[in-house]
Amino acid sequence: MTRRWMVPLILVVFVVISIGFAFKFIKRDKKPKIVVVLQELNTDHSKIVKAGIEKGFVDFDIDGKVIAPDSKYSASNQVTMLKEVLKQKPDALIVTPTQSSAAIPVFKEFQKKNIPVIMLNQDAQWENQTTFVGTDPLRLGKLAGELLSSLTQPGDQVAFIFETKDNFVENDQIKTAKEVLESVGVKVVMEQQGHEEFGNMKSGMSNILHNYPDIKGVFATNDSIALNALKVIEEKELKIPIIGTEGVGEMLKAIDEKRLDVTLSQNPYDTGYLSVDIALKVIKGEYIEKRIDGGVDIITKDNAKSRIDFYKKEVFNKIYQVKIGYFIGRWSELVRKL
């Protein structure tokens, strides 16, 4: 009787142990799930951030995706996206909030489900956010002020162009840039919004030149504003230094072509990559500082071309290849249906 049951009993024990090991293996092998919600994916800056994030997904073996509204002005659309992401129960959320006051109520729902919320490039200033990864705006503004002061003389007039006064990041940049310039006797004579109500981006610089034709320098809080200011200046055949803050796309080209001498870069590729690294550490339960500085680089003729080449290889060529692959796939599908 004992012998007759011995073999089946051994088999049952073996199966139970095997199932236990299988469940442990599946649990161990499960990839962490991270969702990233950006403000938009239309600008060079956001495309570079996305590329850095996706490189992080590959290197750290993450089940991740990057999404964004059609426009960075779509605060309500981003909130809707965040609510949908919450239903997916990711292991961590990385987000660049469009409007913090609108997004924080949703962030609180993530907190209730013990989902870490990591701010990327735009600090929501929510007390319960896991961490902020990005450039310190006070540091960036200080460096912008130092650069602009090195290109001007005491008594010179300079102007600031910003996107909106409601953005505390821009306000911090302006604050420290102004402090540095005024400490060396350079006068900040005008702080101008970069565009009119109907989106005329050139109007900001035109207004400055109309009121202060002897302006000797400009600090712009993003590259889009800086480039539109440059167009106005070039149309008037003037040579006025402009300090931007992103250092991508056409701004790099302007430096490489010596239309501008210097600008700043917030390292969007590296910061995107770093945010994934930090999110994974949080998921693993590691200690993380409440603020992680992504750094600021000075871009000149000496390093602009290397940046252009890097972004072309690691970002824009890959985007092009994905689009070509998509159209080939669609074409093949249509051919099969004929």
Closest CA to 33 of 67, 69, 61, 68: 61
Q: What confidence score (pLDDT) does residue 28 get?
A: 43
Closest CA to 251 of 278, 282, 228: 228
Q: What is the pTM of this model?
A: 0.82
DSSP 312: I
Q: What confidence score (pLDDT) does residue 72 get?
A: 78
Shared-domain flag, residues 108 and 214:
no
Q: What confidence score (pLDDT) does residue 323 get?
A: 52
Shared-domain flag, residues 197 and 285:
no
Does some domain include residue 327?
no
Low-confidence ranges of the chain (pLDDT < 50): 1, 21-28, 197-198, 325-326
Number of structural domains, the chain? 2
Question: CATH code at 76?
Answer: 3.40.50.2300
Provide the CA 234 distance to its chain's centre, in angstroms: 29
Helix locations, 113-235, DSSP H? 137-150, 168-183, 203-211, 223-235
Shared-domain flag, residues 158 and 245:
yes
**φ, ψ for residue 18, nearest 5 deg:** -65, -45
Shared-domain flag, residues 224 and 200:
yes
Q: What confidence score (pLDDT) does residue 12 get?
A: 53
Q: Which residues contact 50 (CB under 8 A, 6 or more apart)?
A: 36, 38, 41, 66, 272
Q: What confidence score (pLDDT) does residue 321 get?
A: 56
Q: Is 307 exposed, middle or buried (0-12, 13-18, 19+ CB in 10 A)?
A: buried
Q: What confidence score (pLDDT) does residue 6 get?
A: 56
Residue owning tokens 């604050």: 175
Q: Tell me the C-alpha distance between 261 and 214, whole Å.
A: 19
Does some domain include residue 215?
yes
Q: What confidence score (pLDDT) does residue 73 get?
A: 78
Does some domain include residue 338?
no
Does some domain include residue 336?
no
Shared-domain flag, residues 125 and 273:
yes
Q: What confidence score (pLDDT) does residue 17 get?
A: 56
Q: Which residues form the domain of 196?
A: 137-265
Q: What confidence score (pLDDT) does residue 74 get?
A: 81
Shared-domain flag, residues 93 and 208:
no
Q: What confidence score (pLDDT) does residue 165 get?
A: 82
Shared-domain flag, residues 155 and 250:
yes
- The neighbour count for residue 149, using CB atoms within 10 Å, is 21
Residue 270's alpha-carbon distances to 32, 51, 283, 327, in angstroms, are 21, 9, 20, 30
Shared-domain flag, residues 160 and 224:
yes
DSSP secondary structure letters along 81-124: HHHHHHHH--SEEEE--S-HHHHHHHHHHHHHTT--EEEESS--
What is the torsional sign of CA 222, 226, 227, 228?
A: positive
